Structure 1
Amino acid sequence: MRHPLARRLLAGAAAIAAACALATPARAAAPPSLDIILDDMTIAALHGDYVVDPHVSALPQLNVSNAKLTYELSGLTGVSLSDDFRNAGPLEQPCTVESRTKLVCGQESMLVPGDDDYMQARLTPAATAPTGQSGTLKVTFEADNVPAVTKSVTVEVDEGVDLATGSRGRQVYVKPGASWDETLELTSISGNVVHGASVSISAPRHVAAPKQFSNCRYLDGSLQSCSFDQDLRPGIKYRIVLPFRVRPDAFAPGLTDLTFLWYTAAEWDNIQNSPGSGNHGEAGTGGKLTLEPLTAALTRTKTATLTRTKQIDVDRSNNFQQMWVNVTGKHSADIEALGATASGPAGGTATVKIGLRNNGPVTLDSERNGWEVAYVSIPLSTPVVTIPKDCANGNPYLAKPGTKLYVCKNPAQYFFPKTAVTWSFEVKVGTGAATATGRVEANPNDCDLDDDCSRYFDYDTDPSNNLAPIVITEVTAGTGGTGGGDGLAITGPRTALVAGVGALLVAAGALLLIRRRRTRFEA
């Protein structure tokens, strides 16, 4: 029997497929993506050489031939380029100084990224190099069968100074909620007047600032930095007093450190304006904090002029100060397991939403207190279709009888009181499964043998709520279902949506089948 409509559908499907094939040209391999990673530089006269260390990146990694890296310096007086390999043998000198402002380095073969350390350069400012000048360093990478890439950066010649901090290594012992004052000292030991300084503070979240200053910056209540527009006279010690407080929701006992790193005003401006430097916080709401001199004759420091010369610290080894904070007492959190109930028709799927809740009173920090982990036991009669993000297959030897084990880790660094983290497993309801049971275990005692179990959180204040049931029930088809620990509906059998050529082929086949069986088709 002839079926003209079916033949037309099949012919149309073939035509569409042919048109799609003609409209989609063969995709050529994409050229490799190359880049040069190099930051702007600040140098100072009379303080030695400065290494120029560009890194050539490539996606994917390449092994290239006849690689060449060319340095070209312009716009600077009294600054020269040279090879970084001083006093090395001939085989270790891949660079040629073509002039005071041009250096060419080469390798016969090179892995990119990976082998560019042999093509570093040096910038050397002469004693007579004028301060305050700015120039450009252009770096170009070339090799066989890859596109050339160029990176230009700014090079500034600033006045060299040397800031030095006071004593290091002090320890304090405080309970959650308690405060203390920390004194920092700073001196210009280079014989120069330093025109302004800034200090960067690195502190964990649980160390907050109970008082704010207008020339300091804060992020979520924690002190980030302070800047001072003062002239610091050489040989004079200056001091500031910073108030700190351990937050009431801090974990105890614990040991943490605070670090303080000083910069010149120009260095700090460069850091804040550099791409990807992050969130520096908001200015404080209090009065102004001042560097106070420790010499009786100096009752007040002089405010730096707005036309100050840019300065660079030539010795970073003495800009660092550190202290230790011992948080005393016993203060932790109760982590509760959150189970789930779900139901659905045999062969359907159900969403089982389980989780962990922090009942407080402590905010947990996974980097300091360990990961919050849940062991999830899913019945074998309801196999998992989709494993949620941040979960993985567990150790089968630790699985409870009749279940498969999964391990879920809280992805967030901070786990705040009265909040929960959840994971949604999609499971298939088996035929004849009736009611299947599993469980969620918080803070498991068994090691999952993944080399990370020693970092699981292990300071739960209430183990009685560490287990919660998972109940999955098969229901009669057509009656729907329920699911999820928070009442999420269970999805039934999925209906596939077929498009394009596939839809036409299915339609044609269905028409032939309908005509052959002479039955009525209803969607």
Structure 2
Amino acid sequence: MTRFSPRTAPLRRAGGLAATALLLAAGPLTVAAAAPARAADPVYALGGPAETALHPYAEGGGEQKRSTAGITVTGTADERYEGEFTVTFDLTGIAGVADVAFDARAGVECAPTGPRATVCTGHGIAPGLSTVAELLLSAAEGSGQGASGAIRVTGEAGGAAFTPFTTQVTVGGPDLVMHRLPFDHEPTPGQKQQAPITFTNRGSRDADGVVLTLRYSRGLDIPQRYSNCAYTTDATWTTARCSVEGAFEAGATYTLAAPLTLQATARAYRDIFAYGIHEAGSVRRLAAATSAERGPGAVLRAVPVKQRMSARSVDLEPGDNEQEADFRTANTADFIAYGDEASGPAGATVTVRLGFRNDGPAWIGYLRSGETVAAVDFTVPQGATVTSAPKGCRGVSAEGAYREDRQAPAPRYVCPTPAAVRDGGGLDLAFGLRIDKVLTGAVGRVTVRGPGLQAPGLPFDPKPGNNTARVVLNGGSGAVPTPSPSPAPPTKGGPGAGAGTAPSATVTPGAGGTGAPRVAGNGGGALASTGSPAALTAMAIAALTAGLALFMAAGRRRS
């Protein structure tokens, strides 16, 4: 089924007219070449876990432990599919291996259509990934250790196609449980702690190799770099995936041959250390496929390691494979506000840059809550109107209250930071201001403060006196004033860039529809106006014509 949206009709008509004009200009073409191709039907991919491990059947009538396998559908189309669809589960392959119940998602109904088949029916598929149903799997009575089978999943819908999916179900497997470590959760900068990573295989089968995953935020460090670990680092996190060889027996406990060292660095503040253990296989292949950097040090080992190898299997309880530790380090970060100066006649549009820089030593990240770290509060100078503001900044009243009208220029703007601000980072904002009336020395206020107006303080900042700066328009008598020293804005994309999504610092201010000349402030610039595009085009054509005439005249004289 080919979908047709009324809003696309004018575009399609325009495209047809353009195509007709091109065909007439280019000459005769075959009908096959000119005929547009029919748009392909959307394709949806069914998915889920490649394999699910089940607890062995509990003899004696006890409650059977269930494992969950979520079956998903991924929409590749940009628009939501509004028709009815069905997803069919062929359960023939798990007869005698597993029993299954269905926990359908909202809007989906599942019903058996035979002893070994179930069909789930729903309406509408949103773009992206969504869950069709959760399969609640338990080992069947009489199933043995290592029994395995497959569930095949297919889909149908009018005007759409589905790629099938198969998931494997196996009775028994390892159950790797990570032990929680007794850290000091309130360290001081520079403090080191031992991290003797320890885990137990509480499953029914041995694990053939394990992958230890270490993930720590910017204020923490593990100085050891092992040769069997793959390291990746971004603005907020460092992740190490360490492949540890050996057979890890069911019922046995293992620890690292030498404990790790976890250090709170000079920039530590609110940090997280996550450590997990997984049976090798897909995790190991993922680590090998990434472009991670290998460590230069020794091999990370876990002891005791048995020589006997076992068949690879899947974890029975993936939820207990990981532990996390939160750290609150007594540290500070100096947020320094900066402003700008600009000058111009009445009607001119100027660009000013303002914001703040984190002079450290700490980085500030609210990783758990995701809350904003701070906000830049900008009061517009008198006699000026904002023509463009960075994305993410909201206009408020002069008192800082909410404004219903979000389109009209505001007298004051609040620009929140993301949930993390790196040391050396900050927020660099560009505002376009139209000078409606020249007022010598018109001053606007820039403040970096807490996210809430009722609690404007920054609890980590020891120097609140530099949290304010000024934006000055026409500071001198007819001359562009020399700005006072201000902290340099953070380098975009460099080591000091703020983590997460922040208001844009590269917004180009509009001309405000007045046709007045643009005059840039100290923070940015623009080329001087040289006339309208139409006038420039006419001048260029005239110059080209004159040049061609001179060339032809010279040729006639030579002949």
Common fold by TM > 0.5 = yes
Q: How does 1:175-324 map to 2 (within 5 A)?
A: 175-220=188-233, 222=238, 224-240=240-256, 241-251=259-269, 254=270, 256-269=271-284, 272=287, 281-293=292-304, 301-303=305-307, 305=309, 309-324=311-326
In structure 1, C-alpha distance between the alignment counterparts of 2:171 and 2:72, rounded to whole Å: 22
SS at match of 1:396: coil
Aligned residue pairs: how many?
A: 446
Q: Residues 206 and 76 (structure 1 numbering): CA distance in 2 closer, same or farther, change over 3 Å?
A: same
Q: Residues 242 and 122 (structure 1 numbering): CA distance in 2 closer, same or farther, change over 3 Å?
A: same
In structure 2, C-alpha distance between the alignment counterparts of 1:345 and 1:123, rounded to whole Å: 75
Amino acid at match of 1:425: F
In structure 2, C-alpha distance between the alignment counterparts of 1:468 and 1:344, rounded to whole Å: 21
Q: Residues 387 and 93 (structure 1 numbering): CA distance in 2 closer, same or farther, change over 3 Å?
A: closer
In structure 1, C-alpha distance between the alignment counterparts of 2:450 and 2:187, rounded to whole Å: 31
Match of 2:469 in 1: 468
Tell me if the contact between 2:372 and 2:417 (Cα under 8 Å) persists in the aligned partners: no
Unaligned runs of 5+ in 1: 1-15, 87-91, 294-300, 508-523
Q: Residues 497 and 134 (structure 1 numbering): CA distance in 2 closer, same or farther, change over 3 Å?
A: farther
Post-superposition offset of 1:310: 1.9
Post-superposition offset of 1:405: 0.6
User: TM-score, with normalisation over the residues of structure 2?
Assistant: 0.66
Post-superposition offset of 1:360: 2.2
Match of 1:84 in 2: 102
Stretch deviating more after TM superposition (77-86 or 351-360): 77-86
In structure 2, C-alpha distance between the alignment counterparts of 1:103 and 1:436, rounded to whole Å: 73
Amino acid at match of 2:202: I
Post-superposition offset of 1:356: 0.8
Post-superposition offset of 1:350: 1.1
Match of 1:94 in 2: 110
Post-superposition offset of 1:19: 6.7
SS at match of 1:269: helix
Q: Residues 363 and 190 (structure 1 numbering): CA distance in 2 closer, same or farther, change over 3 Å?
A: closer
1:131-160 CA-to-partner distances (Å, cap 9, x unmatched) read: 5978673421425xx424334345364861
In structure 2, C-alpha distance between the alignment counterparts of 1:394 and 1:31, rounded to whole Å: 48
Post-superposition offset of 1:268: 2.3
In structure 2, C-alpha distance between the alignment counterparts of 1:162 and 1:244, rounded to whole Å: 26
SS at match of 1:438: strand
Post-superposition offset of 1:41: 2.1
1:63-93 CA-to-partner distances (Å, cap 9, x unmatched) read: 534x32223479889667855269xxxxx97
Post-superposition offset of 1:21: 9.9
Match of 1:407 in 2: 414
In structure 2, C-alpha distance between the alignment counterparts of 1:272 and 1:132, rounded to whole Å: 29
User: TM-score, with normalisation over the residues of structure 1?
Assistant: 0.70
Match of 1:484 in 2: 521
Amino acid at match of 1:42: E
SS at match of 2:224: coil
In structure 2, C-alpha distance between the alignment counterparts of 1:494 and 1:99, rounded to whole Å: 80
Post-superposition offset of 1:179: 0.6
Post-superposition offset of 1:246: 0.5
Tell me if the contact between 2:395 and 2:410 (Cα under 8 Å) persists in the aligned partners: no
SS at match of 2:217: coil
Q: Residues 159 and 441 (structure 1 numbering): CA distance in 2 closer, same or farther, change over 3 Å?
A: same
Post-superposition offset of 1:366: 4.9
Tell me if the contact between 1:81 and 1:103 (Cα under 8 Å) persists in the aligned partners: no
Tell me if the contact between 1:375 and 1:406 (Cα under 8 Å) persists in the aligned partners: yes
In structure 1, C-alpha distance between the alignment counterparts of 2:154 and 2:164, rounded to whole Å: 5
Match of 1:427 in 2: 433
Q: Percent identity?
A: 20
Tell me if the contact between 2:386 and 2:434 (Cα under 8 Å) persists in the aligned partners: yes
Q: Residues 356 and 287 (structure 1 numbering): CA distance in 2 closer, same or farther, change over 3 Å?
A: same
Post-superposition offset of 1:467: 1.9
Post-superposition offset of 1:171: 3.9
Structure with the larger strand share: 1
In structure 2, C-alpha distance between the alignment counterparts of 1:442 and 1:318, rounded to whole Å: 42
In structure 2, C-alpha distance between the alignment counterparts of 1:164 and 1:345, rounded to whole Å: 71
Tell me if the contact between 2:198 and 2:255 (Cα under 8 Å) persists in the aligned partners: yes
Q: Residues 262 and 268 (structure 1 numbering): CA distance in 2 closer, same or farther, change over 3 Å?
A: same
The answer to which structure, 1 or 2, has the higher relative contact order (CA under 8 A, 6+ apart) is 1
Post-superposition offset of 1:302: 3.0
Tell me if the contact between 2:97 and 2:149 (Cα under 8 Å) persists in the aligned partners: no
Q: Residues 165 and 32 (structure 1 numbering): CA distance in 2 closer, same or farther, change over 3 Å?
A: same
In structure 1, C-alpha distance between the alignment counterparts of 2:138 and 2:450, rounded to whole Å: 59
Q: Residues 170 and 463 (structure 1 numbering): CA distance in 2 closer, same or farther, change over 3 Å?
A: closer
Q: Residues 129 and 212 (structure 1 numbering): CA distance in 2 closer, same or farther, change over 3 Å?
A: same
Post-superposition offset of 1:98: 3.9
Post-superposition offset of 1:201: 2.6
Cα RMSD for the two superposed structures: 4.6
Post-superposition offset of 1:208: 0.7
In structure 2, C-alpha distance between the alignment counterparts of 1:273 and 1:153, rounded to whole Å: 24
Which residue among 89, 99, 104 is the counterpart of 1:71? 89
1:39-65 CA-to-partner distances (Å, cap 9, x unmatched) read: 342133664565443246575445534
Match of 2:175 in 1: 162
Q: How does 1:109-128 map to 2 (within 5 A)?
A: 110-113=123-126, 121=135
SS at match of 1:398: coil
